[in-house]
Amino acid sequence: MRHPDYTLTAGPTTVWPRVQAALGQPMLYDYDPVFLERFRATERKLAEVYRTAGDVVLMQGEAVLGLEAAARGLVRPGDVAVNLVSGVYGKWFGLWLRDLGAELVEVEVPYDEAVDPGEVEAALRRHPGARVVSVVHSETPSGTVNAVREIGPVAKRHGALVIADVVSSLACEELRPDEWGLDVCVSGPQKSLAGPPGMSLVSVSEEAWDAMRANPDAPRGSFLSLLDWKERWIDGGRTAYPYTPSVSEVTGVEAALDEVLERGIDAYAAMHARAAAATRAGVRAMGLELWAASEDVAGRCVTAVTAPEGVEVPRVLAHVRERYGVMLSPGFGELKERLFRLGHMGPAADSLTLVIALSAIGRGLADHGVPVAVGEGVEAALGVLAAEGVPA
């Protein structure tokens, strides 16, 4: 089967050209001084993109590793954990918490909405001893965002630690872990950073380190251990890794971070906001329905489109890939058959690329007998881009 011409997915997504070049660099010994410096520089750049003065950890495994490490490091059996659920990943995190023996309190909303910070406040009032609040910033499977800017401070006022899944939001949404009280943030390179999958990019507050040190069940001497990275690598003067880092992936991640920093953190995020707004306008003008209940809760990394009645999502996507060479994403988890996702992250958020995604889904649905005004969708999207492009 041929490769797609365009990968406009929900992640892994198209990587920046410099990431691709970086991944082809010679393989270095992990204690080669050149690689040691690359690793340390990648950490510094990650902290910059996170806008944190705290520690960051580059864990060697897909973001799910970082999320599990955060849960295991911070949550003990019997702890009250308030888990916010507005989508598939939020639900999933709750399963881990329960597995760990936490007393799980869930604040759940339909998967096309966002959690109301007022409801978080109410849940914390009902459960005054809550130790942890966990929240997904950008629910990639439904293209929605939660107001972590408000939720973080609510949790802190109640003395809870905050674990934030920012896997797809880092670099595309505004994110300020230190100011918003997000104790552990976990991201991955394969979403908005447009880097290779395979690493967890974690930020950790001092309070979270204290809590982990005080937790006798926090993993040590384990692939799931954040403390190993703190005690052996960070506190040890950054000279000894707990285990061999993924040399190529680190190099790829550094290139992705370079792209963000060179463009500017705000400009990079604004590029995603623009692409998302143009895509939403295009979807609506084509006569299709956005999955998000309102524009306010729609995120910047993907646009989720409700599958029209009677349409088989996998069939349309296979056709779009086969006929037009464009790889798009279906829903994920329980939303798999219910929506299409147009990814606009990294290079897919740049220039007019989103017009390709809109044309592909529009024409693909039209080919299956759905009445879609493809041209009007493209016009509307270009209208948003043109308006945004006029200097103020």
Ligand X SMILES: *Cc1c(COP(=O)(O)O)cnc(C)c1O
- Residues at the interface with ligand X (CB under 6 A): 11, 62-64, 89, 136, 138, 140, 165, 167-168, 188, 191
Ramachandran assignment for 175, one of left (phi > 0), alpha (psi -120 to 50 degrees), beta (any other): beta
- Shortest distance (Å) from residue 69 CB to ligand X: 13
- Shortest distance (Å) from residue 267 CB to ligand X: 23
- Shortest distance (Å) from residue 63 CB to ligand X: 4
Mention every residue, 6+ apart, whose C-beta is less than 8 A from residue 195.
15, 16, 19, 189, 252, 253, 255, 256, 257
Name which of 162 and 286 has its Cβ closer to ligand X.
162
- Shortest distance (Å) from residue 188 CB to ligand X: 6
Report whether 355 contacts 178 (CB < 8 A): no
Looking from the CA of 203 toward its CB, the CA atoms found within 13 Å total 28
Report whether 191 contacts 13 (CB < 8 A): yes
- Shortest distance (Å) from residue 374 CB to ligand X: 28
Name which of 48 and 62 has its Cβ closer to ligand X.
62
Residue 216, number of CB atoms within 10 A of its CB: 7
Name which of 35 and 92 has its Cβ closer to ligand X.
92
**Burial class, 348, CB count within 10 angstroms (exposed 0-12 / middle 13-18 / buried 19+):** buried
Widest Cα–Cα separation across the chain: 63
Report whether 115 contacts 84 (CB < 8 A): yes
Burial pattern 49-64, b for ≥16 Cβ within 10 A else e, equals bbebebbbbbbbbbbb
Name which of 200 and 205 has its Cβ closer to ligand X.
200
- Shortest distance (Å) from residue 88 CB to ligand X: 8
Strand 6-7 with 55-59, pairing: unpaired
Name which of 113 and 364 has its Cβ closer to ligand X.
113
For 244, the token pair is 């061999």
For 293, the token pair is 């209940």
Name which of 62 and 103 has its Cβ closer to ligand X.
62
- Shortest distance (Å) from residue 251 CB to ligand X: 20
Report whether 162 contacts 156 (CB < 8 A): yes
Name which of 191 and 280 has its Cβ closer to ligand X.
191
Q: How far apart are CA 340 and CA 363, in angstroms?
A: 14
Report whether 304 contacts 143 (CB < 8 A): yes
Residue nearest to ligand X (CB): 140
- Shortest distance (Å) from residue 12 CB to ligand X: 8
